[in-house]
């Protein structure tokens, strides 16, 4: 039974992707994507029912699994090296050639099988499998009609969808393999498969910008892969095992292990696009929206956070832990500040993703039961809400031909259904009683011993509210007497959006259950007591269900008042001259019409990328140097 579930979660998505690549028919390809995603999601729920496990499959397709992984490791690295030569990028060539040499040395002269299980799952792994297999599957289904419209807009002579779905669906299998791997060489294989998949998906459209940004992503993630190989070799020298669980159990007392953990966390930083590595994820915005949604919510960047969280018990209470907490908090506040100056919706979501990932990594560094609870819950809630928001932006962009939030002004009148779904997604990211704010409250509370971290988390949280409230206000600013247009929405678009918006709401309601069933088993001692719909500890309490009841009454009252409104006389604002009859401006000098335009203030003179990025990157670089130097000393 367990071997079958592992096959469905890891191998089936890869086979489904290969089938998509081979099938010429768009309808057959769509059926394969839906079928693969449904089976993968069902398998993840079955794994949840199965519970924690450790296992070592003997073979796959009659090939010993260990030998197959070694073969795939080198095949993958040589394939990426070939791509690097095709790109004529010497840095990428150097990075992956170094990985090949180091991995060959490790496999030939250092590593010996230790009898540790190949795959291992605790509730953290199972949570990640659920995120990848359910949220990731919904995004893959959403991509079916999206990519058809995307290619119609580009007027392509020949479809590129087979290659796109090969890597999009295959990504799910690679991520499931990564989060379930206990053998660190297996982890490394899947870690680098995600690097290849992201490169292919970012460069999918084939424009010069897409190729450039894909190459940049390959380089930075290749640097992370190189750090991983060195950290893996260093950890093996220190502990003498390939098992991640045994490395974690050895803890910081093993001589030399702390620096190995620092290198592994550095690899996680690059994958999670933490400062100063954020540029690859911002560049990934040129990809089709399903790619952005998958990378930001369920796969690529979450792999980096998972890595840092997985090794958190091994460096808890050390200088490395404090450095990781400070680095994460700095990323949280700095990228939230950079998001303030943005009006491009995808870029806002990109910066806010990096910001929230920084908060998760900060929680891993703080390392207390309260902080780990916050980090894991944020991992769950952020995945659903951010996947939803990216998909909403993609759908909106295809109808209004813009992703600028200023062009979304009054969207509630033009596209009321998707505007309401988007608004709910924004609210779940910033307001109580929803899960993201609950996790942020836990994170700030857990950082009580570090005033510097608390200040950064508080400022970052305030900036996040500004970012999302401005966007939501734009959408609800509908013109007077506007008529809704209700543009059509394919079932394969509406179903993922409705599933994710319902998931964002219901998961917040289920936060106490998520804590007691999934998070608490990860902790050495209980962080909270679930009592009467509240999460309590000696410091304070978050009264979840009373807040939901209050929210329900508020929504009911607001809707009742809206239904009671009647047509009234409307006074137009004074613009500095006689208003034009249609109120679009005023009569100016020489009786010339002067149009007006309303827009938000983005404070680019304070928060602009060109003003802040270089200083923020310098600061992040110094923090990373501190992290590595402190771990080595």
pLDDT at residue 477 is higher than 90: no
Q: What is the DSSP letter of 278?
A: T
Q: What is the pLDDT of residue 78?
A: 97
pLDDT at residue 346 is higher than 70: yes
Q: What is the pLDDT of residue 570?
A: 64
Q: What is the pLDDT of residue 365?
A: 96
Neighbouring residues of 404: CB distance < 8 A, sequence distance ≥ 6: 343, 344, 345
Q: What is the mean pLDDT of residues 369-373?
A: 95
Alpha helices in 155-253 (DSSP H): 161-180, 184-202, 208-239, 244-250
Q: Where is pLDDT greater, at 77 or 570?
A: 77
Check if the beta carbon of residue 235 is closer than 8 Å to that of residue 187: no
Q: What is the pLDDT of residue 545?
A: 86
Q: What is the pLDDT of residue 53?
A: 92
Confidence label for 569 from pLDDT (cuts 50, 70 and 90):
low
Q: Kindly report whether the global pTM for this prediction surpasses the value 0.75.
A: yes
Q: What is the mean pLDDT of residues 310-314?
A: 96
Backbone angles phi and psi of 586, in degrees to 5? -140, 165
* pLDDT-above-90 percentage for the chain: 73
Could you tell me the CA-to-CA distances from 48 to 13, 121, 298, 418 in Å, in that order?
19, 10, 17, 32
Q: pLDDT per residue over 403-441, tens digit each?
A: 999 999 888 888 889 999 999 999 999 988 899 999 999
Confidence label for 605 from pLDDT (cuts 50, 70 and 90):
confident
Q: pLDDT per residue over 482-536, tens digit each?
A: 666 667 789 999 999 999 999 999 999 999 999 999 999 999 999 999 887 788 8
Confidence label for 565 from pLDDT (cuts 50, 70 and 90):
low
Check if the beta carbon of residue 409 is closer than 8 Å to that of residue 394: no
Mean pLDDT (the chain, rounded) = 91
Neighbouring residues of 438: CB distance < 8 A, sequence distance ≥ 6: 377, 381, 432, 508, 511, 535, 542, 544
Check if the beta carbon of residue 451 is closer than 8 Å to that of residue 322: no
Q: What is the pLDDT of residue 368?
A: 94
Q: pLDDT per residue over 573-597, tens digit each?
A: 666 667 777 667 788 777 788 777 7
Confidence label for 566 from pLDDT (cuts 50, 70 and 90):
low
pLDDT at residue 60 is higher than 70: no
Q: What is the pLDDT of residue 449?
A: 81
pLDDT at residue 480 is higher than 60: no
Q: Where is pLDDT greater, at 549 or 328?
A: 328
Q: What is the pLDDT of residue 459?
A: 95
Q: What is the pLDDT of residue 413?
A: 84
Q: pLDDT per residue over 97-153, tens digit each?
A: 999 999 999 999 888 877 778 899 999 999 999 999 999 999 999 999 999 999 999
Q: What is the pLDDT of residue 554?
A: 87
Q: What is the CB neighbour count within 10 angstroms for residue 236?
A: 20
Neighbouring residues of 63: CB distance < 8 A, sequence distance ≥ 6: none
Q: What is the pLDDT of residue 597?
A: 74
Confidence label for 162 from pLDDT (cuts 50, 70 and 90):
very high
Backbone angles phi and psi of 576, in degrees to 5? 105, 10
Q: What is the DSSP string of 147-168?
A: HHHHHHHHT-SS--HHHHHHHH
Confidence label for 598 from pLDDT (cuts 50, 70 and 90):
confident
Q: pLDDT per residue over 522-555, tens digit each?
A: 999 999 998 877 888 888 888 888 888 888 898 8
Give the separation between CA 611 and CA 622, rounded to whole angstroms: 19
Ranking 215-224, 319-328, 541-550, 623-632 by mean pLDDT, the lowest is: 541-550
Q: What is the pLDDT of residue 161?
A: 95
Neighbouring residues of 337: CB distance < 8 A, sequence distance ≥ 6: 460, 463, 607, 612
């Amino acid at each position: 039974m367990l071997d079958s579930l592992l096959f469905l979660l890891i191998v089936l998505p890869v086979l489904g992707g290969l089938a998509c690549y081979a099938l010429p028919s768009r309808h057959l390809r769509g059926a394969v994507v839906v079928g693969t995603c449904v089976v993968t999601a069902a398998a993840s729920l079955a794994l949840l029912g199965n519970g924690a496990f450790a296992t070592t499959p003997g073979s796959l397709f009659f090939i010993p699994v260990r030998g197959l992984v070694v073969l795939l490791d080198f095949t993958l690295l040589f394939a990426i090296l070939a791509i690097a030569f095709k790109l004529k990028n010497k840095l990428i060539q150097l990075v992956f050639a170094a990985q090949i040499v180091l991995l060959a040395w490790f496999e030939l002269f250092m590593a010996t099988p230790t009898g540790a299980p190949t795959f291992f799952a605790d509730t953290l792994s199972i949570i990640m499998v659920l995120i990848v297999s359910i949220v990731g599957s919904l995004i893959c289904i959403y991509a079916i009609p999206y990519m058809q419209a995307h290619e119609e807009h580009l007027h392509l002579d020949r479809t590129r969808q087979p290659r796109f779905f090969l890597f999009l669906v295959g990504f799910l299998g690679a991520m499931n393999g990564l989060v379930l791997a206990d053998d660190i060489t297996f982890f490394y294989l899947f870690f680098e498969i995600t690097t290849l998949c992201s490169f292919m998906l970012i460069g999918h459209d084939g424009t010069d910008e897409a190729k450039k940004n894909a190459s940049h992503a390959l380089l930075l993630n290749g640097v992370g892969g190189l750090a991983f190989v060195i950290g893996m070799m260093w950890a093996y020298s220190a502990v003498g095992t390939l098992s991640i669980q045994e490395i974690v159990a050895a803890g910081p007392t093993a001589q030399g292990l702390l620096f190995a953990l620092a290198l592994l966390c550095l690899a996680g930083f690059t994958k999670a696009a933490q400062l100063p590595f954020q540029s690859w994820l911002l560049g990934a915005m040129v990809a089709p929206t399903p790619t952005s949604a998958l990378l930001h919510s369920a796969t690529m960047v979450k792999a980096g956070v998972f890595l840092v969280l997985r090794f958190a018990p091994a460096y808890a209470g050390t200088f490395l832990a404090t450095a990781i907490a400070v680095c994460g908090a700095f990323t949280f506040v700095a990228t939230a500040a950079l998001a303030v100056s943005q009006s491009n919706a995808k870029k806002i979501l990109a910066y806010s993703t990096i910001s929230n990932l920084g908060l998760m990594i900060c929680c891993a560094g703080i390392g207390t039961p309260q902080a780990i609870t916050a980090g894991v819950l944020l991992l769950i809630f952020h995945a659903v809400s951010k996947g939803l928001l990216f998909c909403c932006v993609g759908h909106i962009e295809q109808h209004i031909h813009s992703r600028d939030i200023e062009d979304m002004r009054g969207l509630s009148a033009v596209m009321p259904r998707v505007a309401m779904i988007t608004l709910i997604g924004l609210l779940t990211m910033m307001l109580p009683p929803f899960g993201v704010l609950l996790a942020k409250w836990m994170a700030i509370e857990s950082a009580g011993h570090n005033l510097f971290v608390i200040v950064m988390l508080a400022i970052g949280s305030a900036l996040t509210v500004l970012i999302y409230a401005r966007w939501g206000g734009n959408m609800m600013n509908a013109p007077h007497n506007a008529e809704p247009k209700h543009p059509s929405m394919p079932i394969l678009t509406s179903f993922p959006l409705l599933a994710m918006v319902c998931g964002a709401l219901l998961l917040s309601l289920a936060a106490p259950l998520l804590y007691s069933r999934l998070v608490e088993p990860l902790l050495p001692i209980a962080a909270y007591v679930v009592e009467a719909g509240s999460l309590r500890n000696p410091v304070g309490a978050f009264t979840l269900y009373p807040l939901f009841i209050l929210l329900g009454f508020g929504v009911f009252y607001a809707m009742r008042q809206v239904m009671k409104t009647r047509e009234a006389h409307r006074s137009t604002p004074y613009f500095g001259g006689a208003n034009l009859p249609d109120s679009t401006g005023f009569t100016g000098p020489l009786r010339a019409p002067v149009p007006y335009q309303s827009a938000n203030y983005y404070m680019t003179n304070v928060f602009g990328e060109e003003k802040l990025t270089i200083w923020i990157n310098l600061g992040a670089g110094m923090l990373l140097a501190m992290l590595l130097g402190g771990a080595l000393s």
